[in-house]
Amino acid sequence: MTQKQDKFKALRQKVDQLLGSNNDTLIPEIISDIYQVIHELDVYRIELELQNEELLLTQEKLQAAYDDYLNLYNFSPVTYVTIDDNGRIIRANNALAALVGTTKHDLQNTLLSHYVQDSDQDILYLYRQALLNQQNQQACEFRLKNQQGNIQWVKCEGFVRNDTLHHEINLVLTDITLLKAQTETLLQIEKDKLEIQLKIASEELCKYEQENYNLRIHAEIDPLTKLANRKLLYQRMDEALALAKRFNDNVAVLFLDLDGFKQVNDHFGHGQGDEVLIEVAKRLRQCVRESDTVARLGGDEFVIILNRTSKLMVTDTAQRILDALVFNINKNSFTVTISASIGIAIFPDDSEQPLHLLKYADEAMYKAKNRGKHQFCWHLNLSKEKETHE
């Protein structure tokens, strides 16, 4: 363009020189030069007209391209919105208007946060500030609300244009409501699966614990009376004697055998005998403390461990047991009276060994039976009697 302008100025200066000549008559050479300048001006005019046509054609193409861009922008299924530094909408396409249930005209110059769920507005604000501060922000997610109160989840990605008088923040909003719903459904499915797995695991654990309990019951508990069996009795005796040694206490071992039990089995059958044993176990529990132990050795033999006790307490407990275990079995006009005989050994007076205490209590029990049954006898008294006879 500069070359053509220079050429035009040169032609104009040449014309001025020719027309300003002092000659009264134009010589042929001058006339020839004037025609040459006119021709060159015509050529230059034609060039300008051609350039103007090219410019007009380019302008039409640019306008068509811009119209295509506007159509793509306005009718794109993707939501585009441009906001200023304060979050006000500069321009937006039809997708945003449809998403929030309003028109493009109403969106103009309104705050984008006006259409954001209240609890999510901080997310948009922080994302906008991060973009303005040129911090690397991949994307954010928040909820848009429309005039009907419906909620739409969107994913927001943006960049800042700095080639304008004010910052323009261009945002692309992608509707991820369906994706969120699918994700929540999958999470719920996984949660349900986890709950089912936990339930199965819990049931398996309960089953395992029940099996362990049943094994322990069979190993340590008498299945008929639900009292401690011989194994658990020995364990409890070891524990009781260890504590007694530590605190300098007494422990009493009561060996009990029922009187009249054989007649029950002989006359009424073993089924009735089992009922008697169950009733005896029940009454024995009622006669002792929670800290004491009641065990069945087998048949109609029982052992009671009285922890941290005294001779007076042992006497009272033994008498209470004797009174509680007197009852009659009546059937078919036949009566059998049940009672008990008890032998007592004391730790540490009689022995500090568990098996010796059981043995001494057993011997004292037989002494009580020999003396007429339905009574208790102390091993210490037996020892004194032996010394006296000797």
Q: What is the DSSP string of 133-171?
A: TT-----EEEEEE-TT--EEEEEEEEEEE-SSSS-EEEE
State the pTM of this model: 0.52
- Using the predicted structure, report yes or no on whether residue 123 has a pLDDT greater than 70: yes
pLDDT of residue 390: 46
Q: Same domain, yes or no, for 341 and 368?
A: yes
pLDDT at position 389 over 50: no
Beta carbons of 226 and 282 less than 8 angstroms apart: no
pLDDT digits (tens, 9 = 90+) for 280-313: 999 999 999 999 999 999 999 999 999 999 999 9
User: Which residues on neighbouring strands pair with residue 43, listed in sequence order?
Assistant: none
238 lies in the same domain as 317: yes
Looking at the structure, tell me whether residues 52 and 103 fall in a common domain.
Answer: no
Cα distance between residue 366 and residue 325, in whole Å: 17
Q: Are residues 234 and 383 in the same domain?
A: yes
Q: Which of 156, 175, 194 is the last residue of a domain?
A: 175
d(CA 3, CA 289): 122
Q: Is residue 131 part of a domain?
A: yes
Are residue 163 and residue 278 in the same domain, yes or no? no
Looking at the fold, whether 121 and 156 belong to one and the same domain comes out as yes
With a cut of 90, say whether residue 36 has pLDDT above it.
no
Same domain, 367 and 250: yes
List of residues 6+ apart from 109 with CB closer than 8 A: 88, 89, 90
Residue 225 lies in a domain: no
Q: Number of helices (H) and strands (E), helices first, in the chain?
A: 12, 11
What's the mean pLDDT when you consider all of the chain?
Answer: 86
- The DSSP code for 334 is E
Query: What number of other Cβ atoms are within 10 A of residue 266's Cβ?
Result: 11
Same domain, yes or no, for 239 and 359?
Answer: yes
Is the pLDDT at 226 greater than 90? The verdict is yes
Express each pLDDT in 139-163 by its tens digit. Answer: 899 999 988 888 899 999 988 877 6
- Please tell me whether residues 297 and 272 are part of one structural domain: yes
Predicted pLDDT at 35: 72
Residue range of the domain that includes 41: 2-73
The alpha helices in 175-227, defined as continuous H runs, are: 177-220
Rounded to whole angstroms, the Cα distance separating 74 from 89 reads 15
| Domain shared by 371 and 234, yes or no | yes
Task: Tell me which of 220, 246, 278 is where a domain ends.
Answer: 220
> Is the residue at 322 inside a domain?
yes
Q: Nearest to residue 41, comparing CAs of 5, 8, 71, 19?
A: 8
**Structural domains of the chain, count:** 4
**Statement to judge: residues 134 and 254 lie in one domain:** no
> Which residues are within 8 A (CB) of 288 and not within 5 positions of it... i.e. 6 or more apart?
294, 304, 306, 317
- Given 175, 191, 207, the domain boundary residue is 175
